[in-house]
Amino acid sequence: MTKILVVEDNEYILSSIIDVLQFEGFEAVGAFNGRDALVITHQQKLDLIISDIMMPEMDGYHLLRELQTHPETAFIPFIFLTARADRPNIREGMTSGADDYITKPFSNDELLKAVRARLQKSEALHRHVHAQIDGLHHAVTRTLPHELRTPLIAVLGYGELLYMDADTIQPDQIRERAERIINNGERLQRLIENFLLYAQIELRTTDPGLSAAIEKIAIAHPDYYVSLKSEDVARTAERRTDLKTDLKMDIHVRIAESDLLKLVEELVSNAFKFSEVGTPVFVSSAVIDGHYQLVIRDLGRGIASQDIERIGAYTQFERALYEQQGMGMGLIIAKRLIELYGGTLSIDSTVGVGTTVTVRLVVNEVAERAG
């Protein structure tokens, strides 16, 4: 049976709401303030919380913030009851992570309509999350063992050779085998880190407080970080002279520094990986229609249109023709990171000609005005 917690310091309103919910077949429990409600949330499994805002000891805003700090309560649908229908208070409630609000006085029909809408949305979210987890599990069990085993076998193999030939091996052979161990160890580390990051991104998308938190995020001088990471990637690929940049935007962009660096690393690495040494890779930026637009273009082998349409985790294109290292997660990681911040990633590619990847991120106007 669906269990709903009602938090209200007015005893008459509390008992009335509980009666209505129980009459409709819900299991309802009550609390007179946020502090009592917190105790109940950790003792019972709840499907929905309806809470007044103004209460003694702990108000509704404080209650919601406390719930969001605990993984076991952070995703419980939350509806505010408020006698103050002015826009600032409603906005504060919604931006703090509440799913809905009901303005006092309200009818039984209004109450039940809001309750059913939140429960249906919560059920849809649970189905979506379970579908994503099932898909991720299928992809992992199909692909991850092979991808992790390949570099691990190399590490163990070259380590064993060093051990067996320890008495006769020459210094140059030690250096060569050690280098192969390091290269494959770094590849294995990258595979594991990308897998964990992808799983983390998917979990972040279900965070009920994500939208409110993202609105406050801003990074100044994004081109500094883009330039820094692009040069680092080019240096690692031993193609510093192939990198051509046009980066001069001095603005605030809605994205975290670490996420911007990661998406640039993945996109620029792909541009170098799938183009020949000696051909240029262009990285440029501009502000268009209130968005920071970052463009990475290469003159490599390109991606077929049908492959662009099926970009997803663990997808690798033309594996029979080209040896590819990694789980093919670079593009999807970049795409999912960009989408977290309300941005977009688009790909324009022609086989045999090259690929252009365009990233559009929101310019944080609040930070711009403050700056």
The model's pTM is 0.53
- Looking at domain 3-123, which CATH architecture does it have? 3-Layer(aba) Sandwich (3.40)
Are the C-beta atoms of 313 and 198 separated by less than 8 Å? yes
Query: Does 260 have pLDDT greater than 90?
Result: yes
Domain ranges in the chain?
A: 3-123, 131-204, 216-370
Q: How far apart are CA 126 and CA 262, in angstroms?
A: 29
By percentage, how much of the chain surpasses pLDDT 70?
A: 79
314: its two tokens: 């663990």
DSSP 84-119: ---HHHHHHHHHTT-SEEEESS--HHHHHHHHHHHH
pLDDT the model gives residue 167: 86
Q: For the residues 233-246, what does the mean pLDDT come to?
A: 95
pLDDT bin (cut points 50, 70, 90) of residue 320 is: very low
> Which tens digits make up the pLDDT trace of 197-232?
777 776 666 665 565 666 678 899 999 999 999 999
pLDDT bin (cut points 50, 70, 90) of residue 326 is: very low
CATH 3.20.20.20 fits 216-370, yes or no: no
Q: For the residues 319-324, what does the mean pLDDT come to?
A: 44
By percentage, how much of the chain surpasses pLDDT 90?
A: 42
> Which tens digits make up the pLDDT trace of 120-146?
887 877 776 666 666 655 655 565 666
Q: Residue 36 corresponds to which amino acid?
A: D
Q: How far apart are CA 7 and CA 162, in angstroms?
A: 68
Are the C-beta atoms of 279 and 297 separated by less than 8 Å? no
Q: Which CATH number, 3.20.20.30, 1.10.3720.10, 1.10.287.130, 3.40.718.10, labels domain 131-204?
A: 1.10.287.130
Which of 120, 342, 116, 92 has its CA nearest to residue 210?
342
Q: Residue 318 corresponds to which amino acid?
A: E
pLDDT the model gives residue 317: 45
> Are the folds of 3-123 and 216-370 the same?
no
Helices assigned H by DSSP within the chain: 11-23, 34-43, 60-68, 87-95, 108-164, 171-204, 210-215, 222-236, 257-273, 305-309, 330-340, 365-370
How far is C-alpha 138 from the chain's CA centre? 20
